[in-house]
Amino acid sequence: MKIAVDGYELGRGARGVGRVTQNLLLHLPGIMEGDTFVVLVKQDISPLELPSARVVVLPERGGFLRWQNGPLRRELRKEKPDLFIAANYILPLFFNGESLLIEHDISVVTHPEWYTRRYALPRRFLTARSLAKARRIIVPSEYIKTEILSRFAIDAARIHVCRWGIEEKFTRAAEEEVHAWRAKKGLTERVVVGFLGALNRRRHLPLLIRAVELLRRERPEAMLFIVGSDIGSFSRQELAQMFHPAWVRWERDLPEEELRLFYSSLDVFAFLSEYEGFGFPPLEALACGTPIVLLRRGALEEIFSDLAFMVEEPAAEEVAQALILSLTDTVSRRRKIELFADRRRDFSWANTAQKIARLLRNLESA
C-alpha cells in the first residue's frame, strides 16, 4: 500500500500538529515495512530524518489552504496513493480518495469567537466536509470524539481515540544543569511559575498573571516565566500591559534543546486552558518532574485529573490558592510526579503508532 502524508507542519521547531506528524512518521514506516510512505512537505525538513519514507518538497506560496489545494492536491493526483493521511485537521477540497483524518480538536467549530472571521468561516466549512468524507478519523481524546459526535451526524465507529505520546528526551535535567540555566536566565533565588504555549485567549494569560500577583503577597520572590508566540489574540497594548510587571518574563520561543531545562527549572507549571484536544505542555512538564496546575476543562480533565492540581473555575483567587498548594504540599507534589512516572508508559508514541498501523491495515483489507 502506498500511503501519502500531509507533512505541512514538519520542519525546524515543529510544535503541535508538526510534533504529532513527526512522531508518527518516526514509527509507522518501521511497523508497516511492506508499505510505502510518501511525505509531502512545504520546506526542507532537515535535520529531521525519515529514512523509511520518501520526502517530496512542494514549496509554499500563500499559506496552508492554497498549498493543500494547489501543490499538494496536484502531487496526490500524480502519486495516486492508496491512502492519504490528512494530519492537519482538513482534507483537500476536491480530494476523493481513501483518507484517514487526524482531527486534533474542533475549536474552530465550537468556539469561532476565538478566531478571525476570515479564518473561521472557511475552516468551519472544510472541517465539516472533511469529517463527512474521511474513511476513518483519529482524535487524541474521548473529549474530542464526544465534541464531534455532538455536532455532526457521524457514525461513532469511524472515530478512533489514540492518545499522543511523550518523547523520551523529556526527562528531569541534572541539578547542575538546572542551576546553570536558572542563573543564565536570572531565576536564581526565585520561585518560578511557568507557562508554555501559543498566546491564545482561551489559555487565560491575564488571569494567570493576576494569580501570580496574589501569590506574591505570600511569596514575594515569585515570578512568572512565559514562553509562547503572539498569534494575534491580544493587541500590542494588551501585551504591553500584561508583560509590564518586572516579575513577568516573556520569551517568544526557546531552542528545542532547552525545553527540558525550562520545564526542569520551574517550581510549578500552570496551563489554564478552557479547551484543549490533548495538552502537550503539561505532559512535558510532568515528564520533567514539575508539578502542574490546570483548569478542569475538556481533555485536560480527562487526561490529567489526578496528576494535576486542578482549578475548578477561572478565578484569580482560586488559581492563586492552587499555586500555593502546589508549592507547599510536598506530599501531594511528590505523589503526583510518582503517579505520572508509573503511567508514563501509557503515553508511548510507539504504542500510538501500533494502534494506527492496525487501523491502516484494516482499511487495506476492507
Distance CA(336)–CA(292), nearest Å, equals: 9
Query: What backbone torsions phi and psi does residue 39 show, to the nearest 5 degrees?
Result: -105, 120
CA–CA distance from 214 to each of 27, 150, 220 (Å)?
A: 46, 39, 10
CA–CA distance from 233 to each of 229, 278, 280 (Å)?
A: 10, 21, 20
| Residue linked to cell 483537500 | 92
pLDDT at site 366: 60
144: nearest Cα among 163, 157, 123: 163
Interhelix angle 17-31/349-365, nearest 10 degrees? 60
pLDDT at site 254: 93
CB 340 within 8 A of CB 303: no
Radius of gyration of the chain from its Cα atoms, rounded to whole angstroms:
21
Cell numbers for 86, please give them: 490528512
Distance CA(28)–CA(12), nearest Å, equals: 21
Cell numbers for 2, please give them: 502506498
CB 170 within 8 A of CB 288: yes
CA–CA distance from 93 to each of 68, 100, 204 (Å)?
A: 8, 15, 34
CB 358 within 8 A of CB 300: no
CB 112 within 8 A of CB 124: yes
Q: Which domains does the chain have, with CATH numbers?
A: 2-165+348-365 (3.40.50.2000), 175-346 (3.40.50.2000)
CB 269 within 8 A of CB 281: yes
CB 267 within 8 A of CB 282: no
CB 307 within 8 A of CB 249: no
CA dihedral 326, 329, 332, 334 (to 10 degrees): 90
102: nearest Cα among 362, 364, 356: 356
- Per-residue confidence of the chain (366 residues) as pLDDT tens digits? 999 999 999 987 778 899 999 999 999 998 998 899 999 999 888 878 887 889 999 998 889 999 999 999 999 999 999 999 999 999 999 898 999 999 999 999 999 988 888 889 999 999 999 999 999 999 999 999 999 999 999 999 999 999 999 999 999 999 999 999 999 999 999 999 999 999 988 999 999 999 999 999 999 999 999 999 887 778 888 888 889 999 999 999 999 899 999 999 999 999 999 999 999 999 999 999 999 999 999 999 999 999 999 999 999 999 999 999 999 999 999 999 999 999 999 999 999 999 999 999 887 666
Buried b (16+ CB within 10 A) or exposed e, 30-48: ebbeebbbbbbbbeebeeb
CB 13 within 8 A of CB 228: no
